[in-house]
C-alpha cells in the first residue's frame, strides 16, 4: 500500500473529520428544526478544521517518506553516513508541522553535514516559515503596504481557512518577521526595451516623501520616530479626460520610480 492509498483509507479520513461528522449528523437529524446563520458558519469552520488536520498529517507523512526513501537508497549509502535524526518545526500556509528528517555526514571525510530533505525542498537552515509563507508575505505587503496588517491577515489564514475561534488573532506574524523577510527579498530589475514609436512629449513629476521607520532618535530630549526620505518620480506621456463629464483625468502610459539612495526601483 502506497502513501496516498494509506491516507485515503476511510478510517483515517473519519478520524480527522470526526468533529465535522458529528456536526453534520446533528444538522441532518430530522427533528432538528433550528434556523440560524450559525449553523452554516459552524459547518464551514468544522470543515476547515478537519481539512487542515488531514492536510497537515498528509504533508508530514509525505516529507518523512521522502526522507526515508533517500536514507534507504544505494545512492545515499555510497556517499553518506547516517549521523542523527532530528525533528524540525515549520510554519506552512496550512498551519504548523513538526516532522523528522535525517542528518548525514560525508564518507569522503569532508567537513560539515548534509540534510537531503531540506536541500531537496530548498528550505534554508533555521527558517521557521516555509518559502510559500514568505512569498505570501511579499505578495500581501505589495498590496497593503502595512506590516501589521500583513501579519494579522496571514496569521489568521495560517491558523485556519475559516474559524470562529477568537484565539486565531493570537497567530499574528510578528512585524519584525515581516520586515526581515522583505529585507532579504532580492530586487527584481525588469528588462528595458525601446519603443517603436517615440511620444512627442514626456512629462516627469518628481517629489520626495518621508516614511516613518520602526526606530527612534532623541531630539531635544524627546524620542521621535526616525523617518527615511524616499525620492519618487512619475513619468507619463499625456493626460486623458475620462468619464461622462470629462472631469476625471488619467495619466497615459504611467511609470512610477522610487529611490532611497542612488538606485531607483521601478
pLDDT for res 30: 61
Is 72 within the bounds of a domain? yes
CB 20 within 8 A of CB 53: no
Identify whether residues 91 and 166 lie together within a single domain: no
pLDDT for res 152: 93
The C-alpha cell at 52 is 487542515
pLDDT for res 234: 92
Identify whether residues 60 and 105 lie together within a single domain: yes
Distance CA(231)–CA(72), nearest Å, equals 57
56: left (phi over 0), alpha (psi -120 to 50) or beta: alpha
Q: How far is CA 171 from CA 7, 76, 165, 197, 201, in A?
A: 28, 39, 11, 52, 52
Identify whether residues 165 and 249 lie together within a single domain: no
Identify whether residues 152 and 92 lie together within a single domain: no
Is 217 within the bounds of a domain? yes
Is 193 within the bounds of a domain? no
Identify whether residues 215 and 177 lie together within a single domain: no
| Boundary (domain end) residue, out of 100, 121, 142 | 121
Distance CA(156)–CA(146), nearest Å, equals 16
pLDDT tens-digit series, residues 145-190? 789 999 999 999 999 888 888 888 888 999 999 999 998 887 777 6
Is 115 within the bounds of a domain? yes
Identify whether residues 213 and 254 lie together within a single domain: yes
Report the domain count for the chain.
3
Is 5 within the bounds of a domain? no
User: The whole model's pTM is what?
Assistant: 0.65
Identify whether residues 142 and 110 lie together within a single domain: no
Is 7 within the bounds of a domain? no
The C-alpha cell at 75 is 545512492
Give me the count of residues in the chain.
266
| Boundary (domain end) residue, out of 121, 149, 171 | 121
Identify whether residues 99 and 140 lie together within a single domain: no
Is 92 within the bounds of a domain? yes
Identify whether residues 218 and 247 lie together within a single domain: yes
Q: What is the mean pLDDT of each run of 10 residues along the chain (266 residues)?
A: 51 63 68 72 84 88 93 94 96 95 93 94 91 93 87 92 86 92 80 79 88 79 82 90 79 85 64
Identify whether residues 212 and 154 lie together within a single domain: no
Is 198 within the bounds of a domain? no
pLDDT for res 83: 95
pLDDT for res 84: 96
Identify whether residues 29 and 115 lie together within a single domain: yes
Identify whether residues 69 and 111 lie together within a single domain: yes
pLDDT for res 150: 93
What is the sign, positive or negative, of the torsion defined by CA atoms of 155, 156, 161, 167?
A: positive
pLDDT for res 63: 94
Find the helix or strand (DSSP H, E) in which 137 lies. Answer: helix 131-144
| Boundary (domain end) residue, out of 73, 88, 121 | 121
pLDDT tens-digit series, residues 233-257? 999 999 888 877 777 888 998 988 8
Q: What is the span of the domain harbouring residue 244?
A: 203-265
Amino acid at each position: 500500500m502506497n502513501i496516498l492509498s494509506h491516507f485515503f483509507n476511510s478510517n483515517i479520513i473519519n478520524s480527522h473529520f470526526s468533529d465535522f461528522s458529528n456536526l453534520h449528523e446533528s444538522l441532518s437529524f430530522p427533528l432538528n428544526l433550528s434556523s440560524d446563520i450559525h449553523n452554516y458558519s459552524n459547518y464551514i469552520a468544522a470543515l476547515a478544521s478537519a481539512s487542515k488536520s488531514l492536510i497537515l498529517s498528509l504533508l508530514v507523512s509525505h516529507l518523512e517518506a521522502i526522507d526515508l526513501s533517500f536514507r534507504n537508497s544505494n545512492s545515499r549509502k555510497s556517499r553518506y553516513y547516517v549521523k542523527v535524526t532530528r525533528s524540525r518545526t515549520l510554519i506552512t500556509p496550512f498551519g504548523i508541522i513538526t516532522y523528522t528528517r535525517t542528518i548525514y555526514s560525508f564518507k569522503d571525510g569532508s567537513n560539515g553535514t548534509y540534510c537531503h530533505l531540506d536541500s531537496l525542498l530548498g528550505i534554508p537552515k533555521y527558517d521557521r516559515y516555509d518559502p510559500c509563507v514568505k512569498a505570501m508575505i511579499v505578495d500581501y505587503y505589495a498590496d497593503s503596504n502595512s506590516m501589521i496588517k500583513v501579519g494579522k491577515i496571514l496569521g489568521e489564514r495560517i491558523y485556519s481557512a475559516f474559524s470562529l475561534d477568537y484565539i486565531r488573532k493570537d497567530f499574528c506574524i510578528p512585524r519584525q518577521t515581516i520586515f526581515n523577510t522583505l529585507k532579504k527579498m532580492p530586487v527584481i530589475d525588469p528588462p528595458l526595451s525601446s519603443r517603436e514609436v517615440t511620444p512627442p512629449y514626456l512629462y516627469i513629476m518628481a517629489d520626495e516623501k518621508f516614511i516613518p521607520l520602526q526606530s527612534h532618535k532623541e531630539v531635544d530630549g524627546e524620542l521621535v520616530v526616525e523617518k527615511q526620505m524616499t525620492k519618487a518620480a512619475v513619468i507619463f506621456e499625456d493626460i486623458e479626460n475620462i468619464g461622462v463629464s470629462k472631469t476625471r483625468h488619467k495619466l497615459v502610459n504611467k511609470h512610477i520610480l522610487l529611490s532611497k539612495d542612488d538606485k531607483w526601483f521601478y
